[in-house]
Each structure stands twice: as C-alpha cells, then as structure tokens.
Structure 1
C-alpha cells in the first residue's frame, strides 16, 4: 500500500488514495471501527452478514439508539459499507430489500485498512511462521489457518487488552490464556479439533463474553452447565455442531438475543463423550426413530424475552405444550426455526406464533409422515413475514398465500408434484374440507406465482409426475406473466427431470441454481432475458452431460452478454 501510494509510477491512483484518506479522516465515529474491523476475516473469505453484524454489536460498534435497536443500526452500517463498495456481494443480484446472506471485503480496501491497522493498533494476526517479537499487541487477534501453531510465540503475547479471538483452521489447547479475561468475542466458527474440556475452561474464565460461536465444530456434543455464568452474552451460535440439547442453565442468560442451533446434516455413528461417557449421536440424533434436526430446549426459555432469533428448536422433543406456552412470551422474535411439527401439534404451533407480531422469518420442518399436517391448518396470522421455509410437505401447500403479501424469500421442500401442479395448462379443482365445505384448489406453481413480492425461490421436489416440471401459468389457453420479481431460482429434483420455462415466466431472473440428477434437461432458457449465470450444485455438479448441454444452450442464448455456467464450490449458508 505504501508503495502504491508514494511511487510516482502509480500516480493514476492518487485520486483514489486522496479520497480514501479524506474519507477516513472524516468518517463518522460509529462507522470507522466497523471498517477497521473487517481484516479479521481473511482475503477472499465469504463472511456471513449476520456473523459480522452480531460481532459489531458485541464489540459495542453497533448500539441501541432512542429509535432503533443495535441490530437495526448494525444492518444500516452494513449497507453503508456496501454502498461504498468496501464490502461486496459475491454475486451482484438486484435483490432490492432482500438481505444478502454473505459478503466479501473488497481486496484493495482490505489492504488499505490493514495498513491503517498498524496506526490504530487494533488488529494483529498470527500467520505462517511467525517469529518472536514484542510488537504483537492489540484488541483483536486473528489466528490464520496457515499459522504453524507455535506455543512459544503464543505464550509471548500480552492479551490483557484483547477483546476478540478468531481462530481459523486447527484448534490447539494452548490457544487461550488466563489473561483473556476482558474477551468479548470468541469466534471458533469452522475450527477443527475443538475439545469440550477447553470449552469448559474458556466459559469458566471468560465471564465478559458477549459473542460465542462454535458453528461447525462437530466435536462439541454438549455445552457446559457453567454457561449460565455468561450473564452478558448476547449471541450463541452452535449450529452444525453435535449438540442436541441446550442446558437448563441457559434460561439464566436474560441478555441473549440470538440463539442458532441444530443441523441439516444426516446422522452419523454414535460417539462417546470424554466428559461423562454417555452416548450421543455425532452431528444429529434420533427421537422415536425420526431424525432430530433441531435441538431440545429446556424449561424457562420463555424468560429470555430479549430473544429476536431462535432456532432450530425441535418442538416435539422440547415438550410441545410447555414450549409453545413459553414461545408466546418471546414477543420480540423476528426469526424462528422449528422442527418436529406433526399432525398433533401443527395447529397449536400456528396459534402460538400468532402473538409474534414482529416475526419476519419462519422455518418449519415437518416430522416424517406428517407431510399433510398443514393442509387443513388455520391460516398463518403473520402479515410481516418476509422469509418462509417449509420442509417435508406432502403434495400440497397450506392455504396461507393470502397472508403472505410481504414474502420475498421462500424455500420449499415437497414430496410430490402432480399433474394439477404443473400441467400445461395448470388445473384447478375442488376439494371437500373437514367441515363439509367445497373449496377450490390451485396447483403449487400457480399459488407461488401469486406471491406479489417473491424475489428468491428455492424448490426441492422428491417426485415429479412423468419427471416433468413446467414453470408457467396458463389461463384460458393463454400464458400469463408470472414470477415477475423473482431474481434467484433454485430447483432441486431427486430424479432426472425436464424443467421448462415458459415465454412469460421469470423475465427478471438473474441467477438459476440447478441440483438435479443425471439425465435432466432445462428448456426455455432463451426466454430468461436477464439471466446472468447458471450454477450447478449437488448432483448436477458432476454431471458432464448436463454441463455440455447447458454450455451449448447458454452459448446460443439471445442475450448479447451470454450467461455464465459455474460450479458452486461453496457450502450453502443456513
């Protein structure tokens, strides 16, 4: 950076450096620490938006104001940096009000910020073969994946001012110190070989923690009961660990705002914990022969009235009646994820959510053989819902579409689509409700097309009748304009399928993701005028025939700048 700024050969960059220097001098006090914080994440690293904002809150960079919560102010700061191109979307979709899941730090800005870090004495990094030096000090320590894990170097550092510890790659037992008593952020997301014994020691020592993430630490099977002593903690992320039960002491953490737990992965073999030798399932668990995707929460969860994010909770494993009564007390919830919904508890669950007037995001996973439990359920009384995920449906959608006018994002997993759902033209029929009334029915595609603000649609189908899916809406033998605001569409099928896009559907689609079995074909791509890229993932990733087919189709696309065909190498963010 110094060379670029001072060497006359790069005088063309003088204006850019002048703007950056002026901006940093005049940058608002609330935004500057957020910017200087960004190099904690490695170059080209995909950062989850919520992870970054929650860390800002824990550090005190995003705070409550008279009118807005710290969460809202953090989101505003995030978008300020996005507008300045200091952070960027990995794929530039025009998603409007729909929040992106992840971002990257602009590489040039990151190097400039790193050069400023030396002046501010904020962040320091251990990487490569770090030598012994007395100059390593600061508030935020980053341990990179490539660091050689030198115990002597680590032991020479003064941690008395340390506020955050972030570890990438392999964890070692010596990577924490008794002098880290002022630590606010402990972020071990994705770190390997994290041991329960170390976690227990850290929780006991670091009583000022506000942010704890063990996300992706598969070795961790349970949380120590001493976690109840972290009275200042606001964020707890144990998603994609082997934890299936939250401890009783969690009910003491009255400042908790954000709990993420559970996993989408299939269960693996049993493993024995070194702590108490009781048998647990690695990664997931089974309850009565059914996969337990969410976690069991203890009594008292209703005391955590500051919670605005909670999930994934297994309702049936958590004592349905007791949990749903306590759920009604969490009136500030904005994001809720549940599993274990069945015919026995579906209506009670929907009634319990009717008090959650601020809810914006809801994820529901049905128990095995409960795919029809929402068919005749009462309408979902959540008019502010912007994101809805329904997993494990049978062959119908619940009759909620009139309550989903604000919905921008929908994930749908359905067992079967029949002729009624995708026929050309789509069929509408009549069915008899449990109270003896006649009710008109519509196909799934027709219902989805009527959601006025839908921007992101993910559709997973386990069985297609005749292996055909036609994404079109036909009325009186004429095709209607449909899915007019959809920018991202993901289709996943469990068998080889023929997916067809009509001439008037998804005209503003920019990104198409495909996860279909070998032998699948996509027709009508030429109608997708604004298509920028097609991503192959899952089963489609290794299907050479599909790659060749799509390459030819996209090369012949009528758009002047041909859509790109890519392979999705990154894991999905949940």
Structure 2
C-alpha cells in the first residue's frame, strides 16, 4: 500500500520525496515536499533544489534525518504544514523567522532537542491550529502565543528532572537554590568557552550552548520547576478554541488557573505543579471544564499529590472524563474518583497507595473502566501482603497492567473480571515468592504477559512462577497463551 500511495502521488504531482543520494528532476507544480537527508547520503544541493522545485507552490514540508537551513525558502509564503519532528540539527536561529509563514496551520518541532525557545514572531501565525514542541528544551511559552486564536492543539514538555537529578548528587550543604544556580552558571560558562575554542562538535557553537543554558537550564533551576511542565504566559484564556493542552506547570504562574476556567472547550489537559497551595484553585478550575475527556496530573518528588486532590463533598469532576493518569505520591485515592462513571482508562503511577484493598474496592465499582494500569510503586508497600480482586468487581475491564513486586499472593476470585482479555504482569522477583490464583476462572482471557527481573539466586523462584501460571492457564477453557519477556 505504501508503494502504491507513493506511485500515485508521483503521478498526480501531489508529493515529492527527496532522498539523499538521488538526483532531482523537474517538479514545478508539487504541493507537498518530503525530504530525507542523512550524513551518509549525498546531501541535497541548495542550487539543485531551487532549480527543480518551485518553492512558492509548496504547501507542506516534512523533513526526516538531518536539517539544512536552505530547506526553508523565503518563497514559501503559502506553506501550511511544517513538520520537523525528530529532525536532527535544528537550532533556535533556524526558526527565528517562523512568523513570516503567515498561512501556517501546523507546526511540529517535537524531539528537536536543541530548541530552547520560541521567537516572539510566533504570534504572527494567526492561522495556526497545531503547535507541538514536546520533548524540546522549551521551558517557557512566549507571551505572543495568546494571539493564536485558532490554536486547537498545544503540546509542550521538558524532562529536566532538575530537583531529582542534580540535588540528590550534591553534598548536603550545597542543596539549596543559590548553590545549585552558581554551580550551573560556572558549568555553562565552561561549556561556552569550550565550544568557542573548538572542543565541541562543529555543529554546536557558542550561541547554541549559551541559548540552551540561559533559556532552559538556568531558569529551571532558579524557579525550581517540576519536571515535564512548561510555563504558560498570562492570557491563555484567549485561546478559546483550544481543546488539547499539555504539559503546563501551574506552580509558577498562578493566573494560569484562572485562565483554565475559561478554556471550556478543552478535551485533553496535562498539568504539573499541583501542590497544597494551589490545589483548591485547581479543583475549582477542573470542575469548570465540563467538556474534559482526558486528564493527566504529574507531580514528582516526595510531597507529590499527597493531600492535593482532596475535595469537598459538593465537588463534581467533569462528567465526561474518560481517561485519567495520576503520576506522583498520592497515598490515598481521592473520593471523587468513585464518581467517574464514564471513566474508561486509569493509570496510577508511583502513587504509593497505602490501603490497596480500599483502592481496589473503589476502582472495581467503576462500571465503564476498560483499561487499568497499576505499574511499579502504584502501592506503597505490599510487604508480603495480598492483592484480592473480589467477586463481581471490574465487570467491564478488558486490559489489566499489574506490578506484583513484593506481594505474597494475587487472587482473582471467581466472578471478577468478566471481560478481561489481556493481563500484563510485571515485577521484581525476590525473596517474597508471589503466588497467583484464580486465572482459570477468567472467562474471556486470551493472553497473559509476564515481564520480570530477578537475580540468579532467584532463578528457581522465577521458574516456579512461570510453571504455576502455565498450569492455571491450561485449566482455563479459553486456553490463553503466556508470553514472557525480561529475564524469563
């Protein structure tokens, strides 16, 4: 099908694929240009490109591999799509004039790790509908982004892990903001000096190093931002067409919470920085998002989400919420989760729930829950305890991802998981040998996946676990298969 699509696009002069090492032929009327360029291939020549392609007719540009500055021409005034996802070598100065592409509707810089900021000229793109700068080093969105009234999809994230990655490795006396900031500044100056005397890669110059440090690393340390989130400017409420927003750090700019209330068309929201100081305002904003279908909350570190999601009895979460992801220390499951009757997917990551029986009882009553992910550290510490899935619970669940590390027994009682088809088990096999029971009672199970890690001394325990699972599955009328990975 791929070859047929390429052939038809060539016949219709719809898409032109330029691959390094291949000579170009005249394509005057091409609308969509796709460039694949690598250091191993013969590089596309600037003169050859301009003479064979009428750049003024290009409406869409996609680049794979390595970036070359001449890929964007001043003649591309009617460009609507610019996709540079995972393109290597894109620098801040390459997108400085991005605001001149007034007809741009789609812009993706996802995975461009050398991009540390967006220029103010971004505000000129009044037709822009999609902006994806996820997995870059952009820490703060420009103020002019509030001019993009047609923007529907905004994704941005950065994972510096400043607090966890840097402070834990420093001596205790140096674990404060001033010391970390000073040390980072010295390292930045050293890096700039090193690049200026030619000790770094030729593609990385002093300007790139200094921009990356001054726009990302140093501000993140100075503000002590939580990992993943970016800072949004005031006035975000103007983006009334927005239906996807993530990941925004709400701990630094308090006005963002007031802006969130006005984004009534939001369907998907990802935020970080929820804490006890702003939790009430956040829950108030959350209650106002009546159209919200997907919510993701990220809060790393020891405090995490503990005590931040406790709401009053009258609090009403978005009734159409279908997907919920909570990442961070939670300790206790918020009571309002039991009200999410339309919830389809739930993931609890590093939540450290202490009362796992109470949590399982609440979740088991969610009538539309189809996918449940309980990965590593979802529970505080099982300490040889039991995970008991009682009769009549999880009636709609189809996929269960469960980390069994430290549990002595995992029981699937008869009458639970009536629709379960896929069971994904993972864990560290240590002194506590986990026993599973009731797999023969799962009426619709099709596949069980076992992903485990263990030291050589626990190899026999791992073998016994695998044999026990196979024995139970062999007694199941559906004859489900067992797939293993990891050290098995």
d(CA) in 2 for partners of 1:176 and 1:509?
Answer: 51
Q: Does 1:339 align with 2:233?
A: no
Tell which deviates more after alignment, 119-128 or 278-287. Answer: 278-287
| Uncovered stretches (5+) of structure 1, i.e. residues with no partner | 1-108, 423-442, 474-479, 569-574
Using the TM superposition, give the Cα deviation of residue 445 of structure 1 relative to its aligned residue in structure 2, in angstroms.
Answer: 0.8
Alpha-carbon contact 2:300-2:327 (below 8 Å) kept: no
What is the root-mean-square deviation of aligned Cα atoms in Å?
A: 3.3
Alpha-carbon contact 1:241-1:283 (below 8 Å) kept: no
Tell me, what secondary structure is at the counterpart of 1:338? Answer: strand
TM-score, structure 2 length as denominator?
0.77
Identify if the C-alpha distance between structure 1 residues 301 and 523 changes in structure 2 by more than 3 Å, giving closer, same or farther: same
Alpha-carbon contact 2:270-2:295 (below 8 Å) kept: yes
Using the TM superposition, give the Cα deviation of residue 323 of structure 1 relative to its aligned residue in structure 2, in angstroms.
Answer: 1.6
The counterpart of 2:64, out of the listed 156, 168, 172, is 168
d(CA) in 2 for partners of 1:506 and 1:128?
Answer: 53
Identify if the C-alpha distance between structure 1 residues 172 and 421 changes in structure 2 by more than 3 Å, giving closer, same or farther: same
Q: Does 1:447 align with 2:362?
A: yes
Find the counterpart in structure 1 of residue 422 from structure 2.
Answer: 511
Q: Does 1:293 align with 2:228?
A: yes
TM-score, structure 1 length as denominator?
0.67
d(CA) in 2 for partners of 1:211 and 1:127?
Answer: 23
d(CA) in 2 for partners of 1:552 and 1:331?
Answer: 53
Using the TM superposition, give the Cα deviation of residue 516 of structure 1 relative to its aligned residue in structure 2, in angstroms.
Answer: 3.0
Q: Does 1:394 align with 2:394?
A: no
Q: Does 1:409 align with 2:345?
A: yes
Alpha-carbon contact 2:30-2:58 (below 8 Å) kept: yes
Correspondence list, 1:262-301, <5 A: 262-263=157-158, 266-267=161-162, 274=207, 277=211, 279-281=214-216, 285-286=220-221, 289=224, 291-301=226-236
Using the TM superposition, give the Cα deviation of residue 112 of structure 1 relative to its aligned residue in structure 2, in angstroms.
Answer: 2.9
Identify if the C-alpha distance between structure 1 residues 185 and 392 changes in structure 2 by more than 3 Å, giving closer, same or farther: same
Using the TM superposition, give the Cα deviation of residue 168 of structure 1 relative to its aligned residue in structure 2, in angstroms.
Answer: 2.2
Find the counterpart in structure 2 of residue 490 from structure 1.
Answer: 401
Find the counterpart in structure 2 of residue 250 from structure 1.
Answer: 145
Correspondence list, 1:460-471, <5 A: 460-462=375-377, 463-468=380-385, 470-471=387-388
Identify if the C-alpha distance between structure 1 residues 255 and 447 changes in structure 2 by more than 3 Å, giving closer, same or farther: same
Using the TM superposition, give the Cα deviation of residue 527 of structure 1 relative to its aligned residue in structure 2, in angstroms.
Answer: 4.3
Q: Does 1:371 align with 2:305?
A: yes
Alpha-carbon contact 1:265-1:283 (below 8 Å) kept: no
Using the TM superposition, give the Cα deviation of residue 550 of structure 1 relative to its aligned residue in structure 2, in angstroms.
Answer: 7.1
Q: Does 1:358 align with 2:269?
A: no
Using the TM superposition, give the Cα deviation of residue 501 of structure 1 relative to its aligned residue in structure 2, in angstroms.
Answer: 4.4
Find the counterpart in structure 2 of residue 151 from structure 1.
Answer: 45
Tell which deviates more after alignment, 361-370 or 511-520. Answer: 511-520
d(CA) in 1 for partners of 2:373 and 2:89?
Answer: 34
Find the counterpart in structure 2 of residue 111 from structure 1.
Answer: 3
Provide, for residues 243-292 of structure 1, a one-character-per-residue CA deviation record: whole Å limited to 9, x for no partner.
Answer: 11001111111111111112456457866782664524469944654533
Using the TM superposition, give the Cα deviation of residue 145 of structure 1 relative to its aligned residue in structure 2, in angstroms.
Answer: 6.2
Tell me, what secondary structure is at the counterpart of 2:55? Answer: coil
d(CA) in 2 for partners of 1:149 and 1:512?
Answer: 48
Identify if the C-alpha distance between structure 1 residues 285 and 526 changes in structure 2 by more than 3 Å, giving closer, same or farther: farther
Find the counterpart in structure 2 of residue 327 from structure 1.
Answer: 260
The counterpart of 1:310, out of the listed 221, 229, 245, is 245
Identify if the C-alpha distance between structure 1 residues 370 and 117 changes in structure 2 by more than 3 Å, giving closer, same or farther: closer
Find the counterpart in structure 2 of residue 214 from structure 1.
Answer: 109
d(CA) in 1 for partners of 2:389 and 2:120?
Answer: 54
Find the counterpart in structure 2 of residue 32 from structure 1.
Answer: none
Alpha-carbon contact 1:123-1:142 (below 8 Å) kept: yes
d(CA) in 2 for partners of 1:283 and 1:408?
Answer: 40
Tell which deviates more after alignment, 164-173 or 232-241. Answer: 164-173
Identify if the C-alpha distance between structure 1 residues 165 and 370 changes in structure 2 by more than 3 Å, giving closer, same or farther: same
Alpha-carbon contact 1:124-1:138 (below 8 Å) kept: yes
Using the TM superposition, give the Cα deviation of residue 128 of structure 1 relative to its aligned residue in structure 2, in angstroms.
Answer: 5.1
d(CA) in 1 for partners of 2:28 and 2:449?
Answer: 43
Alpha-carbon contact 1:332-1:356 (below 8 Å) kept: yes
Using the TM superposition, give the Cα deviation of residue 334 of structure 1 relative to its aligned residue in structure 2, in angstroms.
Answer: 1.2
Find the counterpart in structure 1 of residue 177 from structure 2.
Answer: none
Using the TM superposition, give the Cα deviation of residue 221 of structure 1 relative to its aligned residue in structure 2, in angstroms.
Answer: 1.0
d(CA) in 1 for partners of 2:218 and 2:346?
Answer: 26
Alpha-carbon contact 1:124-1:137 (below 8 Å) kept: no
Aligned length: 428
Find the counterpart in structure 2 of residue 349 from structure 1.
Answer: 282
Using the TM superposition, give the Cα deviation of residue 171 of structure 1 relative to its aligned residue in structure 2, in angstroms.
Answer: 2.1
| Uncovered stretches (5+) of structure 2, i.e. residues with no partner | 167-183, 193-205
Tell me, what secondary structure is at the counterpart of 2:131? Answer: strand
Alpha-carbon contact 1:222-1:242 (below 8 Å) kept: yes
d(CA) in 1 for partners of 2:42 and 2:465?
Answer: 44
d(CA) in 1 for partners of 2:341 and 2:120?
Answer: 43
d(CA) in 1 for partners of 2:347 and 2:101?
Answer: 38
d(CA) in 1 for partners of 2:411 and 2:34?
Answer: 47
